[in-house]
Amino acid sequence: MRLECTAEQLEAIAHDIRVDVIESLHCAGSGHPGGSLSIAEIMSVLYFHEMNLDPANPNWEERDRFVLSKGHAAPAYYAALAERGYFSKELLKTLRQIDSPLQGHPDRKKAVGVDMSTGSLGQGISAAAGMACFAKRSGKDFRVYCVLGDGEMQEGEVWEVLMAAAHYKLSNFTVLLDNNNLQIDGQVRDVMSVYPIREKVEAFGWKVLEAGGHDVKALCSALKKARENTETPTFIICKTVKGKGVSFMENQAGWHGAAVTDENYETAMKELNA
């Protein structure tokens, strides 16, 4: 079932996802804060407004599918699943523990609600396109959503998928790009520029939209347009801030993957709960 949460509710859920991310990473002592915090609104809108899901029946065949291609942002994924009721929020405190279903990257065989195991960049979007192709060829009505990283677009496999999805007219496939322009080694434009993204993706035959990645109303509007597009797959460039919500993490490549210490935790939680 799709939920119809208001903008205020979606913003509140995004806030809670950020709190969950910091909590779980602090407990783990390792992980990826920056890119997890940057997709909080995207995950909130997908799971509490856009996608047709049933947490009580996670393997429901008619459910919409979601693939987190940038698998290192798993803390935000797990937080969204917990907030949606797939499992207890207490489980988030076991992130990255050896016997936990919540590993550092999503594992569909362990974590309830995860549709695809991801981690190797470029492979998630490939699997998502395969799901969308299956739905098309089988006459299924479910849609497939994928969150992609901008640094991930440096992978050649991503461009093969863009070509294939347009060729097979996968109008049931929507990719949301977390465009925070930072990766582990610095700015995407300096490491290996993927710009101009819009023009390149349009040239491959996709409908391309742009939305503020922290503006829930803009995200809802873009996703509505994607549903209404029956001709091509849709690519939404979401302008985001890496580390959004925690001042000392914002726009800092060093927080791509770094431990949240006790001091970091106290400062971050004070800001988030202010």
Query: Alpha-carbon Rg of the chain, whole angstroms?
Result: 17
Structure tokens at 218: 């803009």
Asked whether residue 212 is assigned to any structural domain, the reply reads yes
CA 163 centroid distance within chain: 21
Query: What are the tens digits of pLDDT across the range 107-152?
Result: 999 999 999 999 999 999 999 999 999 999 999 999 999 999 999 9
What's the whole-model pTM score?
A: 0.98
Kindly report the CATH number assigned to the domain that includes residue 124.
3.40.50.970
Confirm whether 230 is domain-assigned: yes
User: Is 1 part of any domain?
Assistant: no
Which two three-digit tokens encode residue 109?
């065989």
Mean pLDDT for the chain overall:
98
pLDDT at 4 over 90: no
Domain count, the chain: 1
- List, in sequence order, every residue forming a beta bridge with 210; answer none if it has no partner: 237
Give the model's pLDDT for residue 1: 86
Q: What is the pLDDT of residues 208-229, one digit of tens each?
A: 999 999 999 999 999 999 999 9
- Does any domain span residue 121? yes
Using CA atoms, how far apart are residues 74 and 106, in angstroms rounded to an integer? 6
The whole domain housing 56 covers 7-272
Q: What mean pLDDT do residues 22-49 have?
A: 98
